[in-house]
Amino acid sequence: EQISDRGLDEWLPGIRKTKEKYPNKLLVASLMAPADPDEWHELVQKVQPAGPDMIELNLSCPHMAEGGIGSAIGQDPKLAGDVTKWVKEVAEVPVMVKLTPNVTDIISIGNSAKRNGADALSAINTVLSMMGIDLNTMEPKPSVKGHSTFGGFSGPSVKPISLRIAVQLAKGVGLPLSAIGGITTWRDAAEFLMCGATTMQMCTAVMCSGYGIIEDLTTGLSNYLYEKDIESVKDIIGHALPKIHESLSELDFAHKEVAEIDKTKCIKCGLCYVSCRDGGYDAITLDEERLPTVDEEKCDGCSLCTHVCPVWDCIKMKRV
């Protein structure tokens, strides 16, 4: 999966037809090119007449870095700013810059794009990773005649990275943010909104479940807002930001939390007992019926037991 194998001659009619069919829907053209002003000028000027409402600059694809494209640009604050500036010189619609997570300081790159005229940011692109080794063939995966390379990792597992970066960009840059990475359910969508995202993008979930998943997200989010008596999605954007801090020193550890087990839901699997015994503070014991009990004096509030428990809502953390 690299740059599109379809040329502009195929894409432009598709953009035009899509906008004609859905005139009231936001249509974003995502573009990628080398760090050359003439190439970006030409690309934008060819795409704009097709009618996109916004242009996204893909400065973040990890698969195209060796060609001086994608993350080769997005990992360099100056280059990212330069490309943004070049595009803004000819763009007639808002410009959104798509950022890579494969950096040490994403805020500096976001601010470079902002200084050079970016109207919005999108993040994240995929995380540079290695899939694994086939133990039968002893070859790296995916195998291409016995060889492989690093590639972009996406899907639900990258959500914690995406959330962290959403918060950093919302607080440290302040541009409208289109969140990407690990969004599968309406709950994920709500979390990203509360972390400062103003829109969201999905790829892996749609590839796996089809476009019908969008209705599940919109219905679930609408029901959540109704249950919380919240009038609009806009009312939860950034709601969690004031409570998210950069360092542990900013948190108040004066209070204590301990695990509380609902024995009516317990299936007596013993996972909480084993995890607390071998990885916690040995605060859980089992009675003759294998029902667990928490010693609140020993419990440190690490919440490990809540993560290994297979029963939803069986173990909760309570303040003491």
Helix (H) or strand (E) holding 187: helix 186-194
Distance from C-alpha of 100 to C-alpha of 124, rounded to nearest angstrom: 6
Tell me if residue 269 is catalytic.
no
The conformation of residue 65, written as its DSSP 8-state character, comes to G
Query: Collapsing DSSP states into helix, strand and coil, what is residue 281?
Result: coil
Catalytic residue among 61, 195, 305, 314: 61
Cα torsion at 27, 31, 37, 42 (round to 10°)? -70
Report the alpha-carbon distance of residue 207 to residue 235 in Å, rounded.
30
CB 278 within 8 A of CB 294: no
Residue 172 C-alpha from the chain's centroid: 17
The Cα 156–Cα 290 span in angstroms is 34
97, 57 in Cβ contact below 8 A? Answer: yes
Preceding peptide of 77 cis, ω within 30°: no
What tokens were used for 123?
């993040």
The span from the CA of 79 to the CA of 95, in Å, is 16
Cα distance between residue 109 and residue 172, in whole Å? 11
Q: How far is residue 72's CA from residue 135's CA, in Å, rounded to a whole number?
A: 33
Q: Which residues pair with 260 in a beta bridge?
A: 316
For β-strands 199-201 and 177-180, DSSP reports them as: parallel
Distance, in Å, from the CA atom of 52 to the CA atom of 152, rounded to the nearest integer, reads 27
Catalytic residues: 61
